[in-house]
Amino acid sequence: MRQAVRGEKISHAEKSFHRGVLHIFTAAHYDAGYAEKGIPVASDLSNITCIEDLRAVAQRRVPRMFYDYADSGSYSECTYRANESDFQRIQLRQRVAVNLGGRSTRSTMLGQDVAMPVAIAPTGLTGMQHADGEILGARAAKEFGVPFTLSTMSICSLEDVAQATDRHPFWFQLYVMRDRSFIEALIDRARAANCSALQLTLDLQILGQRHKDIKNGLSTPPRPTLRNLLNLATKPHWCLGMLGTKRRTFGNIVGHAKGVADLSSLSSWTAEQFDPHLSWADVEWIKKRWGGKIILKGIMDAEDARLAVDSGADALIVSNHGGRQLDGAPSSIAALPSIVQAVGKEIEVWMDGGIRSGQDVLKARALGAQGTLIGRSFLYGLGAYGQPGVTRALQIIQRELDISMAFCGRTQIDQVDRSILVPGTYPLPFSVA
């Protein structure tokens, strides 16, 4: 069992988790036969050719409650599925006899040079997909040349990520809590950690119901129930990683928020602290308190997009929270054209939701998104192989973006526009009744 460092308390839940996991390894032999099952080891991921390959491996390696947390939507999951399927309906125009030399996917997001118009999105509980997950994701993003966003609900803290990346700039995603002093402290910590932009999420004032989380009894660390222990017994790679790290709860909250010394339930925290009274006045207050670049996440309506421009934000993200909030909302790619039309060049427009390939990035760019963000594609790589898996996910997306762009007769990502799409196959701005 991990020993507590001076001044640190190990909770009863964490002690129980240790005992349960250690029992697994004394009662059963470690299953190291991933190669025998056809799963490539992390040192050779050449046979991993698409994001779906990473998803399949992650599903085998990550405990069910955490895999389901990442790979599910709210209620009927209609919007969650539409985020992917609506991309698939869009067709690309293939061109020939074009000089395809000197291609580049390089672009900018908020004035920052990026290897491709892709950033890693903020995802809660990332450190439960793989031990020290946020640190590994941030390192992979730094090496690849794309931005990384840390969630308020991360397992690794702001300070952990800053230290592990030698204070390389990253973005911090902020939820608005009732406790404004806690918000002020988070903003100050983000500034001290060398965060270069604040990403304010606007679509989680209340929590959409995710059936799988309720049925799985989602908690961190996992409660040592018989069902959980049996599932953990099939995830030796994950268990070994967790036994080797001290980071198993919400690093930005536990020990920082008032009266929170031990946090084991995501739902109870959000029900108590997420502020349903969030307004554009709060956005103005946070922007002034931060004083740097700010990104507004969760914009799905043209009217809200105009309000985002009026707020003075530097960028907005067309996002339905991965289909995890309002089930029945349009897909992000379907909402994108209306928002681009509403704001023009007054603010950078990005989007997330459903991106599983370089072609999806290309289609989003063609419909006016200056940048995109990946959440699940990143988490699949992380859960499957840790940092090498994240790198592999980025490689897959960039390679497909480059090749597909070339087939469409373009050599620079900044040349991509709606003319590369087949008319009648892509979404148009919504008409207002």
Would you please indicate which residues are annotated as catalytic (active-site) residues? 321
CA 186 to chain centre: 19
Q: Are the C-beta atoms of 41 and 285 separated by less than 8 Å?
A: no
Cα three-residue angle 294-298-303, rounded to 5 degrees: 95
The structure tokens 């491709």 sit at 116
Q: Are the C-beta atoms of 349 and 370 separated by less than 8 Å?
A: yes
- Helix or strand (DSSP H, E) at 269: helix 266-273
* Cis ω for the linkage preceding 276 (within 30 of 0): no
* Token pair for 311: 């707020």
Looking at residue 34, the DSSP 8-state letter turns out to be T
Strands (E), 327-432: 348-352, 371-374
> Rounded to 10 degrees, what is the CA torsion of 306, 308, 313, 316?
-100
Instruction: Measure the CA–CA gap between 405 and 351, rounded to whole angstroms.
Output: 19
Q: Are the C-beta atoms of 343 and 310 separated by less than 8 Å?
A: no
Instruction: Measure the CA–CA gap between 69 and 235, rounded to whole angstroms.
Output: 16
Beta bridge partners of 348: 315
Determine the 3-state secondary structure of 368 from DSSP: coil
The structure tokens 């940092």 sit at 387
Alpha helices, DSSP H, located in 28-77: 51-61, 64-70
> Rounded to 10 degrees, what is the CA torsion of 179, 184, 186, 191?
170
